[in-house]
Amino acid sequence: MDLLAQILINGVLLGGLYAVMALGLALVWGVLNIVNLAHGAFIMLGGYLSWHLYTYLGIDPFLGLPITAVVMFCLGYALQRGVLNLVVRAPMFNTLLITFGLEVVLTYLAQLAFSADFRTINPSYAGSSIALGPVVVPVARLMAFGVAVALTVGMWLFLLHSRLGRAIRATAQNLVAARLYGVEPRHLYAMTFGIGIGLAGAAGGLYGTVSQIDPYIGATLTAKSFAIAIIGGLDNPLGVLVGGLVLGIIESLTVLYVGATFGDVASFGVLVLVLIFRPSGLLGKTA
C-alpha cells in the first residue's frame, strides 16, 4: 500500500514536469498550426541557460526561470519573425521540415558550444525530500510541480482574460475575422511562438534540476510533449496539465505492475486510444 501511494506521488510529480514541457508545444500547435519538432531542442537550450546562470552567476534555478523564459521568448520571437513566418501558411509538411531542420541545427550547435558533457543543475535542495509517513516527496520535483501548475493556470487565465490572449485565441479560431478586428498576425504569431519557446525554456530549467542536460535530450522530450499535447488537447492549457498527469501516473503504474520496459508502450498506447476515442483530446470539445 505504501508502495502504491509512493508510486502515485511519483506519477503526479512526473506528470507536472511533463505538463510544463508540453505547454509551449500545445500552444504553438493550437494557434499557429505548427508542430514544432524543435520544441525539445528549445527545452535543452533553456536547460543550458539555467545551468549557466546557476553555475557561473550563482542564480538559483527556480529564481532564474523568469530570466531563462524571457531570453528564450526573445529567441522564439526572432525565429518566428525571421524564419517561421515564411512558412506559417505553407502546407504542414513544410513546417515539419523547417522545425526538424531547426532541431538538427540547434542540437549540433549545442554540442559545438557546450560539448557532449553531461550537466546537472544541482542546488543543495535538489536531492532533499520531505517524509510524509512512509511516503517520500522529493522537494525539487514538488517545486517543479508547483511551477507547472502555476504556469498552466497562468496561461489559462492569460488566454481567457487578457487582450493579447484573446487576440491569440481569436487568430487561432478565425484568422480573417481576427484581422478585420485589427489583429496584426505577424506580430501575434511571433508573440505566440515566443511564449511557447519561453515556456520550453522554463521547462528546461526545471528538467536540468531534476534530471540531466546534454545536447541530445531534445528528441525524446519532443516526442513526449507531442503525446501529452494530443492526450490533453490543444484548446486549453488545463488539458495539457491533465494530459501530463494522466501520462505520468500511467507510466509509473506500468513500471510497477507490468515492467520497466513497458512505460513507453503504455504512454504511446494511451496516445493511440485517445486518438481513436477522443480525437480532440481528453478535455477537448467532441466533434
Residues 6+ apart with CB under 8 A from 105: none
Find the binder of other proteins among 90, 101, 108, 150 (CB under 8 A). Answer: 108
At residue 213, φ and ψ (nearest 5 deg) are -115, 130
CB of 236 to other proteins, least distance (A): 26
Selected range binding other proteins among 25-33, 72-80, 95-103, 108-116, rule: CB under 8 A = 108-116
Identify which of residues 94 and 129 has a Cβ nearer to other proteins in the complex: 129
Selected range binding other proteins among 5-13, 33-41, 53-61, 158-166, rule: CB under 8 A = 5-13
What is the footprint of other proteins within residues 40-99 (CB under 8 A)?
Answer: none
Contact predicate 51/233, CB 8 Å: no
Contact predicate 96/229, CB 8 Å: no
Separation CA 152–CA 147 (nearest Å): 8
Selected range binding other proteins among 1-9, 78-86, 147-155, 163-171, rule: CB under 8 A = 1-9
Find the binder of other proteins among 214, 240, 246, 266 (CB under 8 A). Answer: 214
SS3 115: coil
Residues 6+ apart with CB under 8 A from 176: none
Separation CA 231–CA 29 (nearest Å): 13
Query: Is residue 122 within the footprint of other proteins (CB under 8 A)?
Result: yes
CB of 262 to other proteins, least distance (A): 8
**How many residues touch other proteins (CB under 8 A)?**
43
Cα-trace Rg, the chain: 19
Give the number of C-alpha atoms closer than 13 A to the C-alpha of residue 251, restricted to the C-beta side: 22
Query: Is residue 141 within the footprint of other proteins (CB under 8 A)?
Result: yes
Indicate the Cα dihedral angle 192, 193, 196, 197, nearest 10°. Answer: -140
Selected range binding other proteins among 78-86, 158-166, 185-193, 249-257, rule: CB under 8 A = 249-257
What is the footprint of other proteins within residues 142-181 (CB under 8 A)?
Answer: none
Find the binder of other proteins among 35, 126, 170, 238 (CB under 8 A). Answer: 126
To the nearest 10 degrees (0 to 180), the angle between helices 263-277 and 237-257 is 140
Residue ranges binding other proteins (CB under 8 A): 2-3, 6-7, 10-11, 13-14, 108, 111, 116-120, 122, 126-129, 131, 136, 138-141, 210-212, 214-217, 220, 251-252, 255-256, 259-261, 263-264
